[in-house]
Chains A and B, each alone.
Chain A
């Protein structure tokens, strides 16, 4: 099997990427279909493919960087040439296909249409090259995708997509030349001798790694180390002092001491996430200007829930049996839920207090109004948290499945915002909450009483 074939196999072997493939295919199909059905200039529809090209660039370059990071790859013969072939081969395929939407651009002569098509391909290559640059420049390039919705919203509000479309159509030589330069520079840089050396054994967080708990852990470790180097402090000292005092106050080798120990680890984990939480808090205020604010805000708080690690998942043998581990899981999930509900309550109260004072934001012909969050939506985390944790326990923390659930739910609620509102009657909501928490308790009980614990030898 050639090096090229082996590298190509990675595209389907990395199951974490399937989610992105699905998004790309869906978005690509939607954009193309609309451009074909209603090819109107000045809508900015034709530039949608550039975002797709950027993401594909990040995926393909991310895979190549991942291969380079494996020490065995350093010695593989001819591997340096394979990178260029794969990364820029994919660039060619994606952009030659994506550029076809410009073929439908209205009111162009046959010759000029051809030029605009290649201009679109060139613009795609620039975006693809940008994605590739992000990948090799940033360790956690996957996190950059999180900013894409903001970029898209910003572009739409400022009509940048229309400006880009005009450049592609009215000045086609510029994107063609720039795209050619990006192609040439990119090809040259991927063939550098030092690339393998600098990336060998490097930690990387690609788009597919978002669902890979081991990789997430590795990156989190690297992040922690950087923070430690910067601060020169141990971190979590007050937490440590408080919880160790509580532990030592209790009876030695007792369930109580073990449970305090688990709480210590939980709060330590939460303590590391204050920065992210503060960001979410501030972003939430901005999102209060959007119609779907309630769902986005509340779902955003759930992602930290998925990051909850149970101390019992470690192979470190501590004096806590299956019974203690079961109760510690109930305790940790309870504490995290209370904390999230408390933060949401605070945020909701804050938006209610701010509502009279927040100005309207006029953009184009529309005026965006700041609206307070609705307290009733506190039911969302109370429903989703036990569901996520039950799935997480049952699938032994399969991040792919566990993340798909809230992402899918969030997308569904954004598309059909009225779906839940109509069902926000107290009785069915309370019943659903009780039922899901009962399921969580039963799943946890089954797991800790009947299944193997610790980290598997086989996974």
Chain B
């Protein structure tokens, strides 16, 4: 059964490159209006998955449907709704920036000139520079501009900020938030800079060795784990800490730092009180959540 609402549907997709199983029975759906974070270690299959969505790769098994069309059959009408920033920013190097923008713009029915102008000003993109002579950071900025200029419904960003400096990264994240204001837009962002990604995403996909090991809302993932800092109010901490589902524990004589899974804030407070401790409960940053997810998966 196809879900009419989903803009991307991936059903039991497997892909092998020689001996390497790049995707292993991956199934997921992407709905419009979301910013989806695609996380995973190098070689976990993130870029391969993204390339299946736009039809560059074809699945050995399973189906990938984008905008209601088999990804391998995507035509100009569907591809004209997708913007894609590749991690290596491979472009037509012999053109200058102005010519490349004009060339890409000519393919689309509409182009947001004011967005282009603002972007060029904010990100200091020079029109006269030869594309091939741009630094990796400048190249990424140009790739992003080319991918957002025609205001695509689905924006796929494969490591878009790896070469950007911190200020440009912050500007870029703000830009994404502005883009998503427009209802119905979807952004998929794959990045290793998790501290950036967590500021904008509302859905998380985590991949490991070609498998999709998490597909959930970012809030659901965050609220699944708490970091608890315990401080004994009277003497040493007990040998056995009476908490359920301790994922991680680092302790000294009077203090302990725990990560609890699927816990309740009130129960945590009550339990801490029962052992005469003060408990500070926090949400985990995405980097820690990612690490814990990977660790659990390894078990």
Residue ranges of A at the interface with B (Cβ–Cβ < 8 Å): 217-218, 220-221, 224-225, 228, 234, 236, 240, 244, 247-248, 252-255, 257-258, 261, 264-265, 268-269, 272, 311, 314-324, 449-455, 457-458
Contact = CB atoms under 8 A, between A and B. Distances in A.
B235 interface: no
Contact of B79 (A218, A314, A318, A455): A318
A448 to B, nearest CB: 10
A255 B79 CA distance: 11
Nearest to B69: A321
A455 B54 contact: no
Interface string B43-78: 000011001001111100000000000001111111
A430 B199 CA distance: 65
A455 B84 CA distance: 14
A321 B147 CA distance: 16
B133 A221 contact: yes
Given A225-B130, A268-B94, A317-B147, A253 B76 contact: yes
Given A220-B94, A225-B130, A257-B107, A458 B17 contact: yes
Contacts of A240: 99, 102-103
Interface in B84-138: 84, 86, 88-96, 98-99, 102-104, 106-109, 130, 132-133
B103 A315 contact: no
Contact of A324 (B75, B84, B93): B75
Contact of B90 (A258, A261, A455): A455
By secondary structure, the A interface counts as helix
A255 B106 contact: no
B99 A315 contact: no
B80 interface: yes
A311 B293 CA distance: 41
Given A234-B96, A316-B91, A452 B51 contact: yes
B83 A317 contact: yes
Given A321-B76, A457-B47, A264 B55 contact: no
A234 B106 contact: no
Contact of B75 (A244, A261, A323): A323
Interface string B198-211: 00000000000000
Contacts of A221: 93-94, 130, 132-133
Contact of A319 (B76, B86, B96): B76
A322 B92 contact: no
Nearest to B100: A316
A240 B101 CA distance: 12
Contacts of B8: none
A258 B108 CA distance: 10
Contacts of A272: 94
Nearest to A254: B76
B93 A319 contact: no
B92 A224 contact: no
Contacts of A457: 47-48, 51
B82 interface: yes
Nearest to B20: A458
A312 to B, nearest CB: 10
A318 B147 contact: no
Contact of A314 (B82, B90, B106): B90
B260 interface: no
B88 A321 contact: no
B146 interface: yes
6 contacts: A311-B92, A315-B90, A317-B86, A321-B78, A322-B74, A457-B47
Interface of B: 17, 47-48, 51, 54-58, 72-80, 82-84, 86, 88-96, 98-99, 102-104, 106-109, 130, 132-133, 146-147
A252 B109 CA distance: 5
A234 B77 CA distance: 32
B92 A314 contact: yes
Interface centre among B83, B90, B107, B133 (most CB of A within 10 A): B107
Given A221-B130, A224-B130, A322-B72, A248 B106 contact: yes
A261 B76 contact: no
Given A269-B94, A316-B90, A450-B58, 18 more contacts: A224-B130, A225-B132, A228-B130, A252-B109, A261-B103, A261-B106, A316-B104, A317-B83, A318-B79, A318-B107, A319-B79, A320-B76, A321-B79, A323-B73, A324-B76, A449-B72, A455-B88, A457-B47
Contacts of B133: 221, 225
- Report the 5 A-B pairs with minimum CB-CB distance, sorted nearest first: A252-B109, A221-B132, A317-B84, A315-B90, A319-B80
A452 B56 contact: yes
Given A234-B96, A244-B102, A452 B108 contact: no
B91 A452 contact: no
Nearest to A450: B58
Contacts of B107: 247, 253, 257-258, 261, 318-319
Contacts of B47: 457
A257 B17 CA distance: 33
Nearest to B150: A319
Contact of B58 (A220, A265, A452): A452
Contacts of B88: 315, 455
Contacts of B130: 221, 224-225, 228
B60 to A, nearest CB: 11
A252 B79 contact: no
Contacts of B146: 316
Interface centre among B92, B94, B109 (most CB of A within 10 A): B94
B102 to A, nearest CB: 6
A449 B58 CA distance: 9
A429 B150 CA distance: 49
A283 B15 CA distance: 51
Contacts of A321: 55, 73-76, 78-79
A32 B191 CA distance: 60
Nearest to B43: A457
A265 B106 CA distance: 13
A234 B83 contact: no
Contacts of B147: 317
Contacts of A314: 90-92
A404 B274 CA distance: 80
